[in-house]
């Protein structure tokens, strides 16, 4: 076990309902930064953020792009600043890894054609097609717990596995940015082979 984790005190934040600094009614990372002194006074050593990646929803569990922080929170720049400012208080940042599914409105699935990429919904020749469980392409596909906006991924798919766990994958990308670690959403539903690789 990592040393920092042994006696960690976690403070979970749902960013959009935390502190809003720009008056748009949505909490942001600048709001977390403003409250770091208070958060530290509670004995916190790790802030665990609920999903922060680009997504069309409020809850952000329907990821559109794992490579980018949602602009509502201030984007990549704001996360970088949050990491640096939290470190001054001895606080690490933990991200929520939602790897059982993506959003249907994502670069990877692209059901509504909003992205320049060719998504799995659009073509069986898409580089992302092998990530998903289609019954009858394109409209009949497995979705997480039957929720159609959350197309289920095949975690063992070579392309998806490399995208998340590879040397230049998502997990390492954000760890290299200074994030302390990952919390895995419904980890009990992730296959052992995926967890081992991660």
pLDDT tens by residue, 118-171 = 999 999 999 999 999 999 999 999 999 999 999 999 999 999 999 999 999 999
Question: Helix/strand/coil (H, E, C) string of the chain?
Answer: CCHHHHCCCEEEECHHHCCCCCCCCCCCHHHHHHCHHHHHHCCCCEEEECCCEECCCCCCCCCCEEEEECHHHCHHHHHHHHHHHHHHCCCEEEEEECCCECCCCCCCCCCCCCCCCCCCCCCCCCCCHHHECEEECCCEECEHHHCCCCEEECCCCHHHHHHHHCCCCHHHHHHHCCCCEEEECCHHHCCHHHHHHC
Query: Residue 53: what pLDDT?
Result: 98
How does pLDDT run across 66-113, given as a tens digit for each residue?
A: 999 999 899 999 999 999 999 999 999 999 999 999 999 999 999 999
């Amino acid at each position: 076990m990592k040393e920092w984790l042994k006696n960690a005190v976690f403070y979970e934040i749902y960013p959009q309902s935390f502190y809003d600094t720009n008056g748009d009614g949505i909490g942001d990372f600048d709001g977390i930064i403003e409250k770091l002194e208070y958060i530290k006074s509670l004995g916190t050593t790790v802030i665990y953020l609920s999903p922060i990646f680009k997504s069309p929803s409020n809850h952000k569990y329907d990821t559109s792009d794992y490579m980018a922080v949602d602009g509502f929170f201030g984007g990549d720049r704001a996360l970088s600043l949050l990491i640096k400012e939290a470190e001054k208080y001895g606080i690490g940042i933990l991200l929520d890894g939602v790897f059982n599914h993506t959003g249907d409105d994502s670069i990877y699935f692209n059901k509504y054609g909003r992205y320049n990429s060719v998504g799995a919904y659009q073509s069986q020749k898409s580089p992302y097609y092998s990530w998903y469980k289609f019954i009858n392409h394109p409209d009949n596909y497995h979705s997480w717990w039957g929720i159609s906006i959350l197309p289920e991924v095949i975690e063992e798919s070579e392309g998806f596995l490399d995208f998340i766990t590879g040397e230049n994958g998502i997990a390492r990308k954000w760890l290299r940015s200074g994030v302390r670690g990952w919390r895995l959403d419904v980890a009990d539903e992730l296959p052992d082979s995926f967890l081992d690789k991660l």
